[in-house]
Amino acid sequence: MFHSIYPYKKRCLLYNQGLMPYLDAHAWQRSLLTDRIHDPSLDDVLILLEHPPVYTLGQGSNSDFLKFDIDKGQYDVHRVERGGEVTYHCPGQLVGYPILNLQRYRKDLHWYLRELEEVIIRVLAVYGLQGERIPAFTGVWLQGRKVAAIGIKVSRWITMHGFALNVCPDMTGFERIVPCGISDKAVGSLAEWIPDITCEEVRFYVAQSFSEVFGVELVESQPKEFFHSE
C-alpha cells in the first residue's frame, strides 16, 4: 500500500498483474467499467500489466498505418473502442489501465489526458529524465522520442484503456507500423537511457506517481481468479 502524509479522500484498488493476453485484459476492463456504470459508488481501479506481442487500432484509426496485411493473420491485431491510432504492446512495456469515475475528479477529458501524461513525466523525473509534451499530440516524449502512448475511452464518465510506457521492450515490433499515426517522430524506450531498467521497478514508481497525481490511496488487491494470467 502506498501511504502519504496527505489525507486521501479516495481509494483506488491496485491490481499488479504479470503478462496477460490483450483480450483477457480488455474483457476485464469492460467488466469493471460495466459494474461501475451500474454502481458508481464502487472503488476506482488501476491495473498494471504487460501484454504478449499485439497490435491494437483505435476506434477510428486508419489501417494504412499498418505495414503488413491485416488479413494474413501473422500478428494479432485488435480494433478496440479507445481513441488514437495503431499501437504495439509487448513484454517490457508497462501498461496501465485506470478505471476511474471522473465525477470524483474533473469531468474534463483533456484534463484527464494531461494528468496521465503527468504520471509518466513524474516517473521519468525519478530517473533524472525530463519527459516532454508536444502540443497537438497526446503522449510523453524523451529527447524527441515517444516513450509513452495514451489512448482512452470514457463511458458515463467512467474511464478505460490508458497508457503504455516503453520500459525495456523489443522495439522491432514498432517497425511494422506507423506508431500512433505519427510518421515523423521516432519511438523510444527507457532502456536507451537506463540499460538495466526493468518493468518491475518502474511499476512501483508508476503506482506512486499515479497516487500523487490523482490524490488517491492505492490498495493492493487481487482480481477474480478468472483474470489471473498464466
Q: What is the pLDDT of residues 2-28, one digit of tens each?
A: 544 445 569 999 999 999 999 999 999
**Superfamily of the domain at 10-221:** Bira Bifunctional Protein; Domain 2 (3.30.930.10)
Known catalytic membership, residue 180: yes
Cα–Cα distances in angstroms (integers) from residue 105 to residues 147, 157, 159, 214, in the given order: 26, 10, 12, 8
pTM: predicted TM-score of the whole model, two decimal places: 0.90
Summarize the confidence of residues 53-64 as an average pLDDT. Answer: 79
Residue 163, number of CB atoms within 10 A of its CB: 24
Residue 204 backbone phi and psi in degrees, to 5: -60, -45
Cα–Cα distances in angstroms (integers) from residue 180 to residues 35, 40, 44, in the given order: 30, 32, 28
For residue 107, name the pLDDT band (cuts at 50, 70, 90).
very high
Question: What pLDDT score was predicted for residue 4?
Answer: 47
Question: What pLDDT score was predicted for residue 5?
Answer: 45
Name the catalytic one among 12, 90, 168, 180.
180
Q: In what order do the strands lie in the sheet containing 54-57?
A: 77-79, 54-57, 87-89
Q: What is the pLDDT of residues 152-202, one digit of tens each?
A: 999 999 999 999 999 999 999 888 766 555 555 689 999 999 999 999 999
In the chain, where the domains are located: 10-221
Residue 223 has pLDDT above 50, yes or no: yes
